[in-house]
Amino acid sequence: MQASGDSSSDEFSGRLGLIFATIGAAIGTGNIWRFPRMVGANGGGSFLVPWLIFLFLWSVPLIIAEFALGKRSRTGTVGTFRIFAGNKFAWMGLWTAWISTAIGFYYAVVTGWCINYFQTAIRGGLGSEVDTVQVWNDFLQDPFQVIFFQLIAVMITMAAIWKGAKAIEKVNVTLMVSLFILLFAALFLSFVMDLDDGTLDGFVYMFSIQP
């Protein structure tokens, strides 16, 4: 009975927390600094249309399936594959966990970069008169800084997940609100920059299918 009580206590307190956790898992920094570049370099709407098609035909169904399997099994990835596919395929759950861990290695580095840029911006080190390419190169050439900020990212992540789902929920609510504010601020600034010449040619290009 005690084990059952402990298991049920480590859950999200409501639907909103679960939704925010899902968004946090699906949206990464690549959506901010890589996706716009990919859209611009691959024809705007010509890239956006197939991207949206595969989003709804592939990504969304996978997320729904993942939630359904997790809700039914109420266990980790190894146990889930063991329940639905048998013991012979339990290794696939371990492989899935390893993929998530490997992605975490990558994002720990990128998050460290973001933390460094955040503190540099606060100190006024990213003004219009600053050579930002040189700032980036100087940062990469200092292994101590790279490792230091990566460790900060790892420690913040550990603190967020240490107490389970409820702690993750609280952190995600704060981070997702911050993310939406950042995205809307970026959208506003992009409109302002696009209107510098009196047109919205960048906005039109993004939603136009190029031959």
Report the C-alpha gap between 127 and 185 in whole angstroms: 18
What is the per-residue pLDDT across 177-206, written as a single tens digit (0 to 9) for each? 888 898 889 888 888 887 877 778 888 888
d(CA 159, CA 163): 8
Q: What does 14-73 look like in DSSP terms, one character per residue?
A: SHHHHHHHHHHHH--THHHHTHHHHHHHTTBHHHHHHHHHHIIIIIHHHHHHHHHHHHHH
Beta carbons of 126 and 132 less than 8 angstroms apart: yes
DSSP 209: B
The confidence score (pLDDT) of residue 5 equals 44
Q: Would you tell me the crossing angle of helices 60-73 and 77-85 to the nearest 10 degrees?
A: 90
**Does the structure show a pLDDT above 80 at 53?**
yes
Using DSSP's 3-state secondary structure scheme, residue 125 falls into coil
Q: pLDDT for 80-125, tens place per residue?
A: 999 998 899 999 999 989 998 898 888 899 999 999 999 999 988 8
Which of 96, 22, 85 is closest to 59 using CA atoms? 22
Contact 5, 157 (CB under 8 A): no
Residue 35: both structure tokens together: 């996706």
Query: According to the model, what pLDDT value does residue 7 have?
Result: 46
Amino acid at 68: A
What pLDDT is stored for residue 63 in this prediction? Answer: 85
Is the CB of residue 78 less than 8 Å from the CB of residue 97? yes
The predicted structure's pLDDT at residue 164? 78
Rounded Cα distance, 169 and 21, in Å: 7
